[in-house]
A and B are shown apart, each in its own frame.
Chain A
Amino acid sequence: DTGVSQDPRHKITKRGQNVTFRCDPISEHNRLYWYRQTLGQGPEFLTYFQNEAQLEKSRLLSDRFSAERPKGSFSTLEIQRTEQGDSAMYLCASSPTGTGKETQYFGPGTRLLVL
C-alpha cells in the first residue's frame, strides 16, 4: 500500500493557460475525491467518483473545471483558462470498500500558482 499519490506536487502557470493534475488512489479504493484548499481555509469538496462514474460535482466546480476517471483507477483534474483565483492546493483522496468506507485517505496535494 503506497498511499495516494498526486502529480505534479507544484505547478506554476500563467493566467489563461490550461493545467492538468493527476491522482493515483490507493489500489482497490473505488471512491476518489477532489478537494480544493485555499490559504488559511479547510479543504472544500469539488467532486467525487465511484469507480469511473462521476457521482457529484460541487457548484464550486465551474465549467472551466473537468475531472475524469476513465478506467476507475487514476483520475485527472483539468482547469482550462486558468485564473488567479484558481491558485490553491488541490487535494485528492480515496476511500475503500467494505469496512472503513467512510474514511478518506489524502494525497500530498498539488499546489497551483497562477500568475
Chain B
Amino acid sequence: AQSVTQLGSHVSVSEGALVLLRCNYSSSVPPYLFWYVQYPNQGLQLLLKYTSAATLVKGINGFEAEFKKSETSFHLTKPSAHMSDAAEYFCAVSGERTTDSWGKLQFGAGTQVVVTP
C-alpha cells in the first residue's frame, strides 16, 4: 500500500522568500515520486519527478526536490518565490514498473501556496 502526506494545507510566503512544501510518503516498494502544480480550473502540470536516479531532482520554474529514503520524504523547494507560483501543489507516489502499483498515482491532499508582495 502507498500513501502520501502533505504537511500544511496552506502556505503563505513573501515574494522573494524560500518556498518549502513538505511531502512524506509510505510505500512497500521502491517508489516513484512526483510533484504536480495545479492552477485554478486547470489540470495538473508536472513540476518534477524522482525515478531512482539522482536523489536531488530539478524541475521546471526553478523548483527542486530531494528524495530522502531514511526520512521517507520528498520535500519541494524554490529559493525565491514569484507571484506566479501561487497555485496548489500535489505530491504523488507510484510504484516501480515491476510492481502492481506502477502507474496508479496516489496523491496527497495538496498544499495551497499564497504569495504576498
Identify the A interface with B (CB < 8 A): 4, 6, 31, 33, 35, 40-45, 48, 56, 91, 93, 95, 101-109, 111
Contacts and interface: CB of A to CB of B under 8 A. Distances in A.
B109 A40 contact: yes
A42 B46 contact: no
8 contacts: A4-B43, A6-B43, A33-B103, A42-B4, A43-B44, A45-B106, A103-B46, A108-B42
B90 interface: yes
Contacts of B44: 43, 91, 93, 106
Give the one of B34, B46, B105 with max A CB within 10 A. B105
Contacts of B9: 40
Contacts, number: 61
Contacts of B42: 108-109
A106 B109 contact: no
B36 A31 contact: no
A58 to B, nearest CB: 8
Interface of B: 4, 9, 32, 34, 36, 41-46, 49, 51, 90, 92, 94, 97, 102-110
Given A40-B109, A102-B32, 20 more contacts: A4-B43, A33-B104, A35-B105, A41-B110, A42-B92, A42-B108, A42-B110, A43-B90, A43-B105, A48-B104, A91-B43, A91-B44, A95-B103, A101-B97, A102-B49, A104-B46, A104-B105, A106-B45, A108-B41, A111-B41
A112 to B, nearest CB: 13
Contacts of A4: 43
B103 A31 contact: yes
Contact of B94 (A102, A106, A111): A102
Contacts of A91: 43-44
Contacts of B32: 102
B39 to A, nearest CB: 10
Contacts of A102: 32, 49, 51, 94, 97, 102-103
A19 B46 CA distance: 29
